[in-house]
């Protein structure tokens, strides 16, 4: 069994408060979880900053090509939302 991990740092230029930032992050995480059946969380790295967020996702399975494809599709899904932009992306395997 293999586990693929994706960690993305986002800049949220339109956020004017922590409440607005959390609304954007939470809605994107919920939509992605429903669509991709992946474990996704907001990391605590930037929890008190209005315009920064870190999100991590994990997918497990036997086929590394399928896992990588699913994580890349998830990244594309995240990047399709104009309310935030990815500024750092990290893929890793466990």
List the chain pLDDT tens, one digit each, 94 residues. 999 999 999 999 999 999 999 999 999 999 999 999 899 999 999 989 999 999 999 999 999 999 999 999 999 999 999 999 999 999 999 8
Contacts of 78 (CB under 8 A, 6+ apart): 8, 10, 28, 32, 55, 84, 86
Neighbours of 12 (CB within 10 A): 20
pLDDT of residue 94: 86
Number of domain units in the chain: 1
Structural domain containing residue 11: 2-93
**CATH code of residue 53:** 3.30.70.1120
């Amino acid at each position: 069994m293999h586990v693929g991990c994706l960690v993305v740092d986002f800049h949220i230029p339109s956020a004017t408060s922590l409440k607005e930032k959390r609304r954007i992050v939470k809605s994107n995480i919920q939509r992605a979880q429903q669509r991709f059946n992946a474990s996704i969380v907001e990391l605590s790295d930037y929890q008190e900053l209005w315009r920064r967020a870190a999100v991590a996702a994990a997918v497990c399975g036997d086929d590394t090509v399928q896992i990588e494809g699913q994580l890349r599709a998830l990244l594309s899904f995240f990047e399709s939302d104009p309310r935030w932009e990815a500024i750092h992306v990290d893929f890793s395997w466990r």
